[in-house]
Structure 1
Amino acid sequence: MERYFISGTNTDVGKTMFSAWFAKRLKEEGKSVCYIKPVQTGYPADDDSAFVRSYAGLPDSDARVLFTGEEPVSPCFLWDEFPMQEAADQINAVTGFDVLIVEGAGGLLVPLDMQHQVYEFARICNLDTILVVPNRLGCINDAQLSAKFLEAEQLPVAGLAINDHYASDPTNRDRNKQMINYLLPDAIRYIFGSMK
């Protein structure tokens, strides 16, 4: 089974949109897909699994959230001790699919509690990270920082997913991608979204 951790250079960069787009694309290739969001704050007003189910056409059982909190804040403000091992056990128990997509909350270093950060799901669950990068001012720096962090942590990267929804104009859209490709050769694997 292919196992992916979807993270981003920050919050609100298109991780859920990419997860839905990716799941739909994989389904169109004839692959079975399971989507899990280990932690969702701002719930139920924000329910990323519902969006992924709707967009990709997944049944309820194949796209779900494990732990939720109503306030839209960093998980560390809602859990004194986030149930990390319980979440990891549920993720690692997934079988019978061609692809598992696990979407993180915010960026790689979002604290789940005083002990754990979101990126640890990639390590504990043996997931290859796809890093979502919004194509906007600052994205070159942010992409490099996140990629270098993953490299330092010796976590496998399955590539970058560039979100063109944020591009200000065609010139900067293309320049950003060209520079990222130069600085992180062959890292861009997916391009999605559209210009405003």
Structure 2
Amino acid sequence: MSSALSLFVTGTDTEIGKTLVSCALLRGFAEAGLSAAAMKPIAAGAYFNVEDGLWHNEDADQLDAAAGALLPPEMRTPYLLKAPAAPHIVAAQEGRTLKLAPIVDCHREAMRRADVVVVEGVGGFRVPLDDQRDTADLALALGLPVVIVVGVRLGCINHALLTADAIAARGLHLAGWVANIVDPAMRFADENIETIRAWLQREHGVPLIGTVPHLAPPSAERAATHLDMPLLLRALRAHAG
């Protein structure tokens, strides 16, 4: 059985820096001396690259650039959908079914190829995959500890607490959360972060892994310097037993 570590990265919404933080985690694991691989099991939104003759997804490409242990595209992203829209809608239009078993199989193989595997979800925690299952079911099928990326902007407190409650309701372990400041003009950002920190710590025992400032342009390397990787690694290793 593999002794590799793994985690599932989810967000409070879409476009809140989930990929940036996932890439920062990959960089952070590398700095800790670990070979890190990335998975984006379901990606909606693809473009055709004439240079290599393959379909690509921008988020998946960023993950590959940050990963120390590269996975084959079909393992990194078992389901690459063309249109940038809700996965269950695009999958239905393309005549595809988003099955969990192939993703679990790919993840199992990825765990054999790296010390740690970062799995980035799609959208928020409860994005539908079909008329019966959502990304929460994917996280549950993988059985991974979850890291929440909170996009710090107006409404983030409610979104963060609801997301944490949804994760806990599925019986999944919350390994930590990251505050990512997406609105640099937000008033009382620090106070919002402190409120989330206090509530998540009290209600779920979830530590704040770090606060990523607004970065222009976005930089995984710079973002990684704002993360407490030893704290996260302790949480992941404790969960792994």
Instruction: Give the alignment's TM-score, normalised by structure 2.
Output: 0.74
Give the structure 1 partner of residue 185 of structure 2: 168
In 1, Cα distance between equivalents of 2:18 and 2:61: 14
Give the structure 1 partner of residue 228 of structure 2: none
Give the structure 1 partner of residue 127 of structure 2: 110
Which of 45, 53, 57 pairs up with 2:64?
53
In 1, Cα distance between equivalents of 2:181 and 2:72: 28
Give the drift of 1:24. 0.6
Structure with greater helix share of residues: 2
Contact 2:44–2:83 (CA<8 Å) still a contact in 1?
Answer: yes
Structure 1: 5+ residue stretches without partners: none
Q: How does 1:128-143 map to 2 (within 5 A)?
A: 128-143=145-160
Give the drift of 1:59. 5.5
Q: Please tell me the residue identity of whatever aligns with 2:131.
A: M
Pair 1:145–1:26, CA change in 2 (3 A): same
Q: Which runs of 4+ in 1 moved over 6 A?
A: none
Which of 209, 223, 234 pairs up with 1:189?
209
Deviations 1:152-174, CA, capped at 9 Å, x for gaps = 111111111110232425x6121
Secondary structure of the equivalent of 1:166? coil
In 2, Cα distance between equivalents of 1:79 and 1:70: 9
Give the drift of 1:62. 6.8
Give the structure 2 partner of residue 71 of structure 1: 83
Give the drift of 1:149. 0.9
In 2, Cα distance between equivalents of 1:195 and 1:69: 29
Instruction: Give the alignment's TM-score, normalised by structure 1.
Output: 0.90
Give the drift of 1:194. 2.2
Identity of aligned residues (%): 28
Give the structure 1 partner of residue 19 of structure 2: 16
Deviations 1:163-194, CA, capped at 9 Å, x for gaps = 0232425x612111111122112531222242
Q: Please tell me the residue identity of whatever aligns with 1:89.
A: D
Give the drift of 1:69. 1.1
Structure number with greater Rg is 2
Give the structure 1 partner of residue 163 of structure 2: 146
Deviations 1:112-137, CA, capped at 9 Å, x for gaps = 11122112222111211101001111
In 1, Cα distance between equivalents of 2:184 and 2:89: 32
In 2, Cα distance between equivalents of 1:193 and 1:121: 30
Contact 2:37–2:70 (CA<8 Å) still a contact in 1?
Answer: no
Q: Please tell me the residue identity of whatever aligns with 2:150.
A: V
Deviations 1:92-112, CA, capped at 9 Å, x for gaps = 222132111110000011011
Structure 2: 5+ residue stretches without partners: 48-55, 217-241
